[in-house]
Amino acid sequence: MNAYHIIIAGHGGQGILFAGKFISYAGMIREKNVSWLPTYGPEMRGGTAKCSVIISDAPVGSPIVTKPDVLIAMNLPSLDRYEPECAIGAKVIVDSALVPRQLVRTDLAGYYIPAQKLAEDNGLHGLTNMIMVGKAIREIGVCAYEDIEAAMEKTVPERKKNLLSANLKAVEIGYNFPRYSFE
């Protein structure tokens, strides 16, 4: 059975929930079973935001992810909080522009990308999340590269269609960013 148990975490406003929705839609396109569970409390107004996504061949049981095999960490508190919870061998994508440390655990695979800086350098303010997603697609294969456009069409609401190409560009940047070790 093939399944991804994903946690995406950062602070409210970074587009954590949107990134999760995009990955869910990408799974749906491939007829996978998916679930998406957000934080919905005061976090929504600017605390720590977290989103659990499961993409699975089998029907999804509990939508709660307790041992993620994929972690996308978009700030330091999120990495501090969820790194210990990761399953052995989990793959962790870290925004190295925002998180000033490497993984502590040696049984995890870390992928570092200065996503926040890349977003600013490319005039993609607010799209750090999609750069991280691009990196996750490249390194982990959370969804197929060919599905990016179709999934984005479904995720971006009608009234924000003008932002479609910027979102796609952000995913591209993340996808094409070379692997590098943390300095």
Partner 1 sequence: MAKVTFNIDRCKGCNLCVEACPKKILALSHDELNAKGFHPVEIIDESRCIGCGFCATMCPEAAITVEKEGRAEISAAMEKVLMKGNEAMAEAAIIAGCRFFFGYPITPQTEVAAYMAKRMLEVGGVNLQAESELAAISMVMGASSTGVRVMTSSSSPGISLMGEGISYLAGCDLPALLINVQRAGPGLGGIQPAQSDYFQATRSMAHGDFHIISLAPNSVQEMADLTMKAFDLADQYRMQVMILADAILGQMMEPVILRDAEKKKLPEKTWAVTGTGGRRKKNIINSLYLSVEELDKVNRERFARYKIVEEKETLFEEYMTDDAEIVMAAYGATSRICKNAIATARTKGIKVGLIRPITLWPFPKKAFQKVAQRAKAFLCVEMSMGQMIDDIRLAVGGSKRVAFCGRVGGMVPSPEEILEKLEQLNGGGVNA
Binding mask of the shown chain, residues 62 to 91, with x at each position contacting partner 1 by CB under 8 A? xxx-x-------------------------
Q: Which residue lies nearer to partner 1 by CB, 64 or 109? A: 64
Residue 174, C-beta contacts closer than 8 angstroms, at least 6 positions apart: 113, 115, 118, 130, 131, 132, 133, 134, 135, 136, 137, 138
We find the least distance from the C-beta atom of residue 66 to partner 1, in angstroms, to be 6
Binding mask of the shown chain, residues 84 to 123, with x at each position contacting partner 1 by CB under 8 A? ----------------------------------------
Positive or negative, the Cα torsion across 140, 141, 143, 148?
A: positive
List the one residue from 3, 37, 87, 166 that touches partner 1 (CB under 8 A): 37
157 binds partner 1 (CB under 8 A): no
Binding mask of the shown chain, residues 1 to 30, with x at each position contacting partner 1 by CB under 8 A? --------------------x--xx--x--
Concatenating the DSSP letter of every residue in 8-50 gives: EEEETTS-HHHHHHHHHHHHHHTT-EEEEEE--SGGGGTSEEE
First to last CA, the chain: 37
d(CA 31, CA 20): 17
Residue ranges that bind partner 1, judged by CB under 8 A: 21, 24-25, 28, 33-38, 40-41, 60-64, 66, 154
